[in-house]
Structure 1
Amino acid sequence: MTIHDYNEVDILYTLMSYVNVSSPQDMYYAIAHTILTHIDQIPSISINDLADLCYTSPATISRFCKDMNCKSFVNFKNEIAIALEIARNEIHLSTQDAQKVSEDPDYLKKKMYHEAMESLALVEKSIDMKDIDRICEMIYQAKKVHMLGYQFNKIISNDFQMKMLKHRKFVYAFVERGDEIQRLDIIDKDSLVIIITVRAREQLMKALIDKIKEHHPKILLLTMNQTYQNDDIDWIYRIDGTESQYSESSLQGTMNFLSLLNLIYVRYGLLYRE
């Protein structure tokens, strides 16, 4: 399995998510929208100039950065700069593939769909239905279920949340960056926390797991990382599959986890429907 080293916690995605879920009357909405529409200026802008651009104060800009889970305005600008640098090389086909696409655009369609089907086939082979039944039972038995994910995983978590509601099972799906830290007070010993992550990066996972464990829930980690270990996690469920090597954003990984959660959703309905 190949897992591409893309950034799971992308500040640009976080800003866009904030704009999508906030009211235009919200001051932070105005700041996020202004930043996104002047994105190339942000890495070099001063806090005073950004405040003027947003018709607000430097203190409000500082609070906004902390709300985005950045330690400071300087840290926020640095994350923007990194994200923009990554985005400059968002699509990077090999020279050979780029030439083939130039000669025949249909080659790109065949390449992408072939890779998608190949990855899903690997996911299917790696899944044991006994494990799916165990996951369904964990969800059914838990008084509270919380789903944590980054970037595209937030989208599929929200989709799973809506589908599970039709089974009369409410699932918390944190949608804002930092929610997994700021809203830990609603997690308790009767909770099941499901974390979805393609890469399960050691540094990111350790900080998150350490804070979650303070509330003593059961933890289920869904990942494509075949080697990650953490003794504080009750169960690490691994699926196989591939990730694209020519895009900084996840392509196959999105479909892999969406297919897994759809399987859990359907199986849960068959096992526990009233």
Structure 2
Amino acid sequence: MNENNKKQQNTFSLKGFNITSSLLAIINYYSEDDINYVLANYLLERINVMDKISIYDVIDYCYVSRSTIHRFVKSIGFESFTHMKDNIRYMRIHSRAFIDFVNQSSFTDYIMNSMVDMLQDINDTLDQQNIGLLVDLIKKSHNVVILNADTSSSSAKEFQLEMTSLGRLIKLVTNISGNAGILPALTEEDLLITCSASGNYAITTKDNVQGVRARKFLITLNHAKQFEEYYDTIIFLSDKFQSSEHISNGMQNVYTRYGINYFFDLLFNKYVQKYLM
């Protein structure tokens, strides 16, 4: 891949990491008479041909002004309507990976065997790393924030709920949440945990993380050297995966689907064992 393509791939923002999830969030949370809903619905219904739609098509169909469209596009993380369209092809790569992951005649056998191997691999890999330090920082830090792509944030939300039951509040920031302003307000007494199994989200949010003063952890499979510039500590789920310095091809496997979930279960277990027993 040439340098120009790498730079273009890395032009996503904290919000613009995934076009589809940003649009679906609007559909899920806004009322149908809201102009943001109207625009998101229009684009989602044409998601497979969005790169062929002009801004004038949107103006004519949705009865909105050009400035309204620009405000909408910026609100989901893109600099312009053209910038949003340019990134559609990367969304399609990720979409294709979802299909390829399950499109196997012996899928159940694959999942069963792969899960056993993955669990053992994660156990062995984490045994070589200082998970206890993260447990202690979660206990002692003033604020704890998890940064996670919304499409893969279910395990982080479950961990957030579990920790709240113990009286420990953890905040969650995703590419569609409206609380990203808490990141630059973090101090040296706080903790930021970025979860990015493939490394894609960590790459696209590195500018958001770089200036954060909190102690910074990254949970990932990706061994890219650039992460050492932005994170104080990197916890690897496995040593079997190569590094990637740019947004990958939407890797989907048992690690990206279930690895972070298992990691949070292990983390919660260690927290309970140390501070509640």
TM-score (norm 1): 0.78
AA partner of residue 262 (structure 1): D
Equivalent residue for 1:239, pick from 237, 240, 253: 237
Equivalence for 2:210: 210
**How has the CA–CA distance of structure 1 residues 116 and 44 changed in structure 2, closer, same or farther, with 3 Å as cutoff?**
same
Q: 1:64 and 2:72 equivalent?
A: yes
AA partner of residue 221 (structure 2): M
Contact 2:70 2:80 in 1 (8 A): yes
Equivalence for 1:128: 127
Q: Deviations over 1:210-269 (max 9, x none)?
A: 232xxx2111111112353424422111121768xx985454323111111111123223
Unaligned runs of 5+ in 1: 1-6
**How has the CA–CA distance of structure 1 residues 10 and 130 changed in structure 2, closer, same or farther, with 3 Å as cutoff?**
closer
- Specify the SS of the correspondent of 2:198: coil
Q: 1:137 and 2:129 equivalent?
A: no
Equivalence for 1:267: 270
Q: Per-residue deviation at 1:112?
A: 2.3
Whole-Å separation in 2 of the counterparts to 1:18 and 1:175: 14
Q: Tell me the percent identity.
A: 20
**How has the CA–CA distance of structure 1 residues 87 and 204 changed in structure 2, closer, same or farther, with 3 Å as cutoff?**
closer
Q: 1:226 and 2:223 equivalent?
A: yes
Equivalence for 1:49: 57
Whole-Å separation in 2 of the counterparts to 1:271 and 1:86: 39
Equivalence for 2:244: none
Whole-Å separation in 1 of the counterparts to 2:140 and 2:218: 17
**How has the CA–CA distance of structure 1 residues 121 and 18 changed in structure 2, closer, same or farther, with 3 Å as cutoff?**
farther
**How has the CA–CA distance of structure 1 residues 108 and 204 changed in structure 2, closer, same or farther, with 3 Å as cutoff?**
same
Q: 1:252 and 2:255 equivalent?
A: yes
**How has the CA–CA distance of structure 1 residues 183 and 115 changed in structure 2, closer, same or farther, with 3 Å as cutoff?**
same
**How has the CA–CA distance of structure 1 residues 76 and 43 changed in structure 2, closer, same or farther, with 3 Å as cutoff?**
same
- Specify the SS of the correspondent of 2:130: helix
**How has the CA–CA distance of structure 1 residues 199 and 87 changed in structure 2, closer, same or farther, with 3 Å as cutoff?**
closer
Whole-Å separation in 2 of the counterparts to 1:119 and 1:20: 33
Higher relative contact order structure (alpha carbons within 8 Å, sequence separation ≥ 6): 1
Q: Per-residue deviation at 1:44?
A: 1.4
1:142-153, aligned counterparts within 5 Å?
142-153=141-152
**How has the CA–CA distance of structure 1 residues 247 and 80 changed in structure 2, closer, same or farther, with 3 Å as cutoff?**
closer
AA partner of residue 235 (structure 2): Y
Q: How many residues of Structure 1 are paired with residues of Structure 2 in the alignment?
A: 254
TM-score (norm 2): 0.77
> Over aligned residue pairs, what C-alpha RMSD do you find?
3.2
Equivalence for 1:76: 84
Out of 258-267 and 29-38, give the one that drifted further.
29-38
Contact 1:119 1:242 in 2 (8 A): no
Q: Deviations over 1:76-112 (max 9, x none)?
A: 112224323553565348xxx97xx5xxx4x221012
